[in-house]
A and B are shown apart, each in its own frame.
Chain A
Amino acid sequence: MAEPLLSVEGVSRRFGGLLAVNAASLSAEAGRITALIGPNGAGKTTLFSLISGFLKPSAGKVRYASDDITGEPPHRLARRGIARTFQIVQPFAGLSVRENILVGAHLRHPARAAALELAERVGHDVGLGDMLDRPAHALTVAGRKRLELARALATEPQLLLLDEVLAGLNPSEIRDILPVISELSARGIAVLMIEHVMQAVMSLAGHVFVLAEGRIIAQGSPPQVVADPIVVEAYLGHGAAAKMRSAHVH
């Protein structure tokens, strides 16, 4: 098996008395889509922030391409090839779509012309081709999600952290954006996505990690994880798995 591109080892994060993330370990491989699921408040976004440099872990290590990147700031990680999107989209509201993507493109292309060309291409790739000169604040939620994705892609990452990129989208919008995401892994990018939309997890993810109350409680392929009674209980409450089993018997 290939050496994972990203390796999170026993990472914890404490906020005063609250242990938001508790010795969590996971990994992501190039060319694969890995999902991080779990009930609300489990600490998934916190874990993302720990991986992407917005928060420093209280304990544990984060490794990327065999380098120890624990605690490195976000802009340095971006240069290494780690890009992230935000759960609450953060467009550069006053700028046009093209100018938004341009900021990402400039990471590896100092010259404006080359960066603009890349921005144009990425914009088309995510399906925003005809919106490039509209102001970012004029986009719909679905559009903003695509913009969020485009900006991250323009940095030409090897690891892409997607934080609930499907949240707030209606079924047809989800159906339209799924191929864009699966295309990414075809290109060799490692994708780690936090998702609540189970249809996406089942159809896209090769491997799933389940986080509940700050701890990784299960991992495996999507069918394995969904059938795991521990996972069911994490979502539906204590005793739910047993209840479901007894319901089946009858």
Chain B
Amino acid sequence: MRRPRFLRKGSVQEDRAETPVAGRFSQHTRRVALGLSLAGLLIVMAAGLATRAVLADRDPTWEHIRQSGTWRVGMDPSFPPFENLDGATGQPVGLDVDLANAIASRWGVRAEIVGVGFDELLDAVTAYRVDSAISALPVVEHRTREVAFSAPYVEAGILLVALRENAIAKPEDLAGRRLASEWGSAGDAQARALQRELGGNLTLVLRESPDLALQAVLDGGADAAAVDAVSLALFAAGKDRLITIGEPLQSEPYVIVVPAHAPKLLAAINATLADLAADGTLAAIQARWLEDGATR
């Protein structure tokens, strides 16, 4: 039957207009059917959500760590003081090794360090060849579908550094002054960006290494330096005369990498990092490897 144009399909009007008696029966049936359909839909949705919650709660990586008593940690031991091979023992040593051991110890498991090339570390996590990667790794934004990143454990970004007695409180105070950095480094890029922001009213002092840039500040050859936090931490001579100014010019937090579908492992890492920070263990590990006179 051709439906009149003014009636919407499925409307009550339509039923009444076309078959009045059958329409009332049909309407009741439809209401029952609609109710059943809605109930069914709700059941399916609830089941789906429950399944999803159960699946989301499942974490095979974490289960494997708990069952095996071993946490496989990928690391490229070529970046001291975070990780390198000890000359005498041939074993990996460094801040990241200590951190892995400290976390594993809190969990009551053993950290097994697995050597993986730097550029393959995230792929190794994605392929479950290792449970996690700790190797002075930054957050890689375009990989967040495949891996997840922990809270930071070290800030390795570009810092603005000046003499304690220097009246520099913020980057803008460098207008008309001299800023040192390693030529061509990330610090150099930040220095040039700041120079543009200040309309060119900033003199760049370019040196061949971060240490020489910092030395320029100590020697009076520059008013401040833009260097990475790790270079600053490892800079030995006269560091007590230097202070960092404000927030990092460019943040570069190092994080622990886990598979994307390892929520329990990620939560456990973040909780343990918080514990290690709260009780001073993390600071002690950082001091051991990054402070002046560190064991390295």
Tell whether A and B belong to one assembly.
no
